[in-house]
Amino acid sequence: MDWRLADFTEDRELGRGAQGRVVLAHHTQSGTPVAIKYLAQGDPGAVAALRSEAQMLGRLTSPYVARLYRFTESEHGAAIVMEAINGASLKEVLREHGRLAPEAALLVLKGSLLGLAAAHAVGVVHRDYKPANVVVRPDGLSKLVDFGVAVLAGQGSFAGTPVYMAPEQWRGEASSPSTDVYAATCVFFECVTGRRPFAAAERAVLMNQHLTGPVDVSDVPEPLRPLVLQGMAKDPGERPLGAASFVTMLESAAAAAYGGDWEQRGVRALAAAAAALAALFPLAALTVPGAGAATATTAGAAGTAGASGTAGTGGTVGASVSKGFLATTAGKGAMAAAGAAVVATTAGGVYVARDSTEPAPAPVAVVAMAADTRTITGGTTPIEIRNARYPTVSGLRDPALERRINAELRGPIDRLIALARESSTQVNCQGKPVKLGVETRLGLRGPRLVSVRYFQLTDWCQQADGSPGGEVVTVDLRTGRRLTNTDVFRPAALTDAGVTRIRSLVAQHPVAHERDWDDCSSDGRFKRSDFLPGEARIPGTKETPPNLSAFFTPAEFQLSFLAGGSDGCGNLNFGAAYATVRELLKPEIAAMLPAAPSPSRT
């Protein structure tokens, strides 16, 4: 007999096979829509695979990755409870539209890379990044799904989808974050050109293309070709180290090629593509108490063995068979509900499209990157600003609030320009310009906070004199207020003992050409004054940012050490999972950060 988890109410069965079934349900207490995959007892290998997937997903908390709510084993079998995601798979979007505008393709890649970055931050390599495992939501944003063949970095075997597999996967070697970068670049290539970078009917030919064949980028827009060539380098060491560093490259290339508002155009284009796809299928309303109306639609996910079948009135079911579970429950099970085509896909979840009768969502912040590139004249020395990038916020329907937020976000660049103007009147560069630049990293970008890290670069009279330091700016989108360390940390965390505790929980990020903290600090410790430098200053001096500042990213909590000088010690990063440092943060701050979903993860 069918067994059920006690805390959930089933709304519809989506698939059934010899090994189990897939249902759309909701958490009885909270009303949260979920997808549940039940695996009947009898196949130890299938249970082990499902357990492994749950273990990988259990490491992640990211708005760019489908959430794991629960994994349960009992005498009846095993069950995995996943987030139900609004949207359609990128595979279906490409099938319908052929290719995407460059801005839309860049946006898909960026969202997916942020999901991969969250995985890489906790040591997980996805290994099966492909269009079927990216879900495009009706708002134009995307989520990464299906960690069925994921492994910890350093592990490896021949696994993945051949047309997107990196050379090291073909050789059965250890996987690393750059393995996922390769696959993501392949998918980006497909999005922007309408074709795969390599295609061959014979497996051996396809393998040789990935191992040794050059990538033909003639159809790729010229400004984006360096992204493709570096992301698909044959040697993993020649690719970006991971998804996070690739995002930085992507944002710079996109802003330079398509302007600071490229993300807004990409969101609009992707939302239109997803909506057009959803309109092709008859939808069956699903009412979930407390969750509004939703409807199930197709979201194919072609797996490594290509199992497929017919669902309902004509949707094609694609099911990953690497675990043997959904090949029977989805790929071989006839699924129909009220005449609608309903597809349960891989381990990422069931995709649910927004019903057209639902009220429009509340306004949310649209965060885009802008750049300041100009030469300021009028003084004794010209000031050259070189691609000083900063985020801008729009879409909040409150012009005054947006002005406050954007003034804070651009503040470090304006302060750097003011410093250069003041100094240029005191220094005679004999006609040589003062050059300014900023290394900018955008972290969390909503729904409540925007966090951005700036490291300032200066060249006074072409003397290569180092950096004046940097700042982290984190703004509360509800109030436009910039948060300081005293706003972020509990008071006990900023005592001598608390600072020692913080140091024990974070680890320095290893970055090429970056100095080790132990070489920069006499005892390897953090000092309380690094977090609260104002206490050590002489009254009347100008206030400057602290040396150590909290920086929030989608993947993890970070501390940025940003200090002036030319010794290489003023631009360092330390990181830890949010769960690790949550006890040190004020409750109101912790509530704004990526957190475990409800119902509670078990």
* Across 45-59, 110-124, 321-335, least confident range: 321-335
Question: What is the model's pLDDT at position 428?
Answer: 65
In a domain, 2, yes or no: no
In a domain, 599, yes or no: no
Q: Are residues 209 and 292 in the same domain?
A: no
Q: Give percent helix, percent strand, percent coil of the chain, each to the nearest 5.
A: 35, 25, 40
Q: Which residues pair with 316 in a beta bridge?
A: 310
Cα 112 from Cα 126, distance rounded (Å): 11
- Looking at the chain, the number of H-run helices and the number of E-run strands are 17, 27
Residue with more model confidence, 595 or 135: 135
Pairing mode of beta strands 434-445, 383-394: parallel
* Span 342-360, average pLDDT: 29
DSSP states of 57-111: HHT---TTBPPEEEEEEETTEEEEEEE-B-SEEHHHHHHHHSS--HHHHHHHHHH
- Residue 522: band (very low, low, confident or very high) from pLDDT cuts 50, 70, 90: confident
Which of 354, 383, 412 corresponds to the end of one domain?
354
406-415, pLDDT tens digit by residue? 999 999 988 8
Question: What is the model's pLDDT at position 93?
Answer: 81
Q: Are residues 269 and 337 in the same domain?
A: no
DSSP states of 347-385: TT--BEEEPTTSPPPPP--EEEEEEEEEEE-SSSS-EEE
Which of 301, 327, 354 corresponds to the end of one domain?
354
* Span 108-134, average pLDDT: 81
In a domain, 598, yes or no: no
- Please give the helix or strand (H or E) that residue 34 lies within, else none: strand 33-40
In a domain, 28, yes or no: yes
In a domain, 597, yes or no: no
Question: What is the model's pLDDT at position 426?
Answer: 62
3-class SS of residue 425: coil
* Span 243-253, average pLDDT: 83
Which of 331, 354, 377 corresponds to the end of one domain?
354
Q: Are residues 49 and 180 in the same domain?
A: no
Q: Are residues 109 and 76 in the same domain?
A: no
In sequence order, the 6+-apart residues with CB closer than 8 A to the CB of 95 are none
In a domain, 595, yes or no: no
Q: What is the CATH number of the domain that holds 560?
A: 3.30.565.40
Cα 601 from Cα 204, distance rounded (Å): 43
Count: domains in the chain? 3
Output phi, psi for 36, to 5 deg.
Answer: -120, 130
Distances (CA, A) of 447 to 139, 155, 364, 476, 585: 14, 35, 7, 9, 18
Q: Are residues 232 and 99 in the same domain?
A: yes
In sequence order, the 6+-apart residues with CB closer than 8 A to the CB of 356 are none
Contact, 81 vs 71, CB < 8 A? yes
pTM for this entry: 0.49
* Span 282-307, average pLDDT: 29
Question: What is the model's pLDDT at position 454?
Answer: 92
Cα 593 from Cα 552, distance rounded (Å): 8
Q: Are residues 143 and 239 in the same domain?
A: yes
Q: Are residues 15 and 113 in the same domain?
A: no
Cα 427 from Cα 221, distance rounded (Å): 44
Within 10 A of 67 (CB to CB), how many other CB atoms are there?
22
Output phi, psi for 24, to 5 deg.
Answer: -100, 130
3-class SS of residue 164: helix
- Residue 371: band (very low, low, confident or very high) from pLDDT cuts 50, 70, 90: confident
In a domain, 602, yes or no: no
In a domain, 550, yes or no: yes
Q: Are residues 430 and 549 in the same domain?
A: yes
Residue with more model confidence, 115 or 319: 115
Q: Are residues 417 and 377 in the same domain?
A: yes
Buried b / exposed e over 547-577, threshold 16 CB at 10 Å, is bbbbbbbbbbbbbbbbbeeeeebbbbbbbbb
Q: Are residues 196 and 302 in the same domain?
A: no
Q: What is the CATH number of the domain that holds 71?
A: 3.30.200.20
Contact, 23 vs 10, CB < 8 A? yes
Q: Are residues 264 and 286 in the same domain?
A: no
Amino acid present at 330:
A
Residue with more model confidence, 153 or 487: 487
Distance of CA 25 to the CA centre of its chain: 27
The token pair at 330 is 């989805």
Contact, 336 vs 313, CB < 8 A? yes
Question: What is the model's pLDDT at position 282?
Answer: 25
Q: Are residues 195 and 213 in the same domain?
A: yes
Which sign, positive or negative, has the C-alpha torsion 575, 581, 585, 591?
Answer: positive
Question: CB-based burial of residue 412 (10 Å sphere; 0-12 exposed, 13-18 middle, 19+ buried)?
Answer: buried
The token pair at 451 is 């966090």
Residue 409: closest CA among 480, 457, 468, 479: 480
Instruction: Tell me which residue range forms the domain holding 285.
Output: 8-83+281-354
* Span 266-289, average pLDDT: 53
Q: What is the CATH number of the domain that holds 266?
A: 1.10.510.10
Peptide bond into 599 cis (omega under 30): yes
Identity of the highest mean pLDDT range in 354-363, 417-426, 467-476, 564-573:
467-476
Identity of the highest mean pLDDT range in 22-31, 270-279, 564-573:
22-31
